[in-house]
């Protein structure tokens, strides 16, 4: 008696597809085919429950097509078929799109924050280095624009008067002794009126 594969049950979740071959009797061999070809040697395909359950992880558009569950025993073979349409692949890809978009946005935000931190650190480093290497400038003082007039210095002639008159006239010349009339006479010897006034003073 040939074991009959009545149908293939399908269950899916975001990013994965599970196909189960429903069998009523015992079988000797069970094989899975996709588009009439054996399943590719890919770790994404896994078989459990004595090959009755086939699961595809990381499901994508290349996994769409016709799947066949072929069972055989000493009496013959039987098969069940299921077509994974393109619509199912598109729905599965669209369900993964928001997650990928969120991941991309999150990575972009993290990169932007890291870049801002690096730029801030670079600006602070160069600003600190600029302040450290700057030489202090000497203060500039404005020179006065107004000049003060110099005071007029009057010439004062020294006058020496001895209270003790020398005995000889040549002593006044030798030792620098002089009287007020002598000094005035030397200053203005040609003014007789001044000489008379000086004589009256003495």
Q: For residues 89 and 77, what is the distance between their CA atoms, to the nearest angstrom?
A: 30
Would the pLDDT of 196 be above 80?
Answer: no
**What is the CATH classification number for the domain harbouring 33?**
2.60.40.10
Q: For residues 40 and 51, what is the distance between their CA atoms, to the nearest angstrom?
A: 15
More confident residue, 108 or 145: 108
Q: How many CB atoms lie within 10 A of CB 67?
A: 23
Residue 43's φ and ψ, nearest 5 degrees, are -65, -10
Q: Is residue 42 part of a domain?
A: yes
Among candidate residues 63, 85, 107, the one where a domain is terminated: 85
pLDDT tens-place string over residues 170-182: 555 555 555 566 6
CB 32 within 8 A of CB 84: no
Instruction: Give the dihedral of Cα atoms 106, 112, 113, 116; nearest 10 deg.
Output: 180
Q: Is residue 202 part of a domain?
A: yes
Strand order in the sheet with 16-23: 5-13, 16-23, 53-57, 45-48
Q: What is the pLDDT of residue 117?
A: 93
pLDDT tens-place string over residues 74-118: 888 888 899 987 666 666 555 555 566 677 888 888 999 999 999
Tokens of 47: 């078989």
Q: Is residue 137 part of a domain?
A: no
pTM of the complete model:
0.44
Q: For residues 191 and 17, what is the distance between their CA atoms, to the nearest angstrom?
A: 144
Would the pLDDT of 197 be above 70?
Answer: no
Q: What is the pLDDT of residue 15?
A: 81
Q: What is the pLDDT of residue 137?
A: 58
Q: Is residue 198 part of a domain?
A: yes
Q: For residues 76 and 183, what is the distance between their CA atoms, to the nearest angstrom?
A: 166
Would the pLDDT of 128 be above 70?
Answer: yes
Q: Is residue 77 part of a domain?
A: yes
Full domain range(s) for residue 81: 5-85
Among candidate residues 60, 85, 110, the one where a domain is terminated: 85
Q: Is residue 139 part of a domain?
A: no
CB 68 within 8 A of CB 36: yes
Among candidate residues 85, 117, 137, the one where a domain is terminated: 85
pLDDT tens-place string over residues 12-62: 787 888 999 988 777 788 999 999 999 988 899 999 988 899 999 988 888
Q: Is residue 140 part of a domain?
A: no
Q: Is residue 102 part of a domain?
A: no
Q: What is the pLDDT of residue 169?
A: 58
**Could you say which DSSP state residue 140 is in?**
P
Residue 107's φ and ψ, nearest 5 degrees, are -65, -40
More confident residue, 112 or 139: 112
Would the pLDDT of 3 be above 90?
Answer: no
Number of domains in the chain: 2
């Amino acid at each position: 008696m040939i074991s009959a594969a009545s149908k293939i049950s399908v269950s899916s979740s975001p990013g994965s597809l599970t196909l189960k071959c429903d069998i009523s009797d015992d079988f000797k061999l069970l094989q899975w085919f996709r588009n009439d070809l054996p399943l590719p040697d890919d770790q994404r395909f896994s078989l459990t429950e004595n090959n009755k359950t086939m699961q595809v992880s990381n499901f994508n558009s290349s996994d769409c097509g016709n799947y066949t569950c072929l069972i055989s025993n000493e009496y013959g073979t039987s098969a069940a078929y299921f077509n994974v349409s393109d619509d199912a692949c598109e729905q599965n890809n669209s369900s993964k799109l928001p997650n990928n978009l969120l991941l991309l946005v999150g990575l972009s935000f993290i990169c932007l924050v890291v870049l801002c931190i690096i730029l801030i650190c670079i600006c602070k480093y160069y600003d600190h280095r600029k302040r450290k290497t700057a030489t202090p400038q000497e203060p500039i003082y404005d020179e006065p624009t107004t000049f003060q007039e110099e005071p007029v210095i009057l010439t004062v002639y020294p006058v020496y008067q001895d209270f003790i008159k020398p005995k000889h006239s040549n002593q006044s010349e030798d030792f620098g002794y002089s009287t007020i009339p002598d000094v005035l006479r030397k200053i203005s010897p040609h003014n007789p009126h001044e000489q008379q006034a000086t004589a009256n003073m003495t």
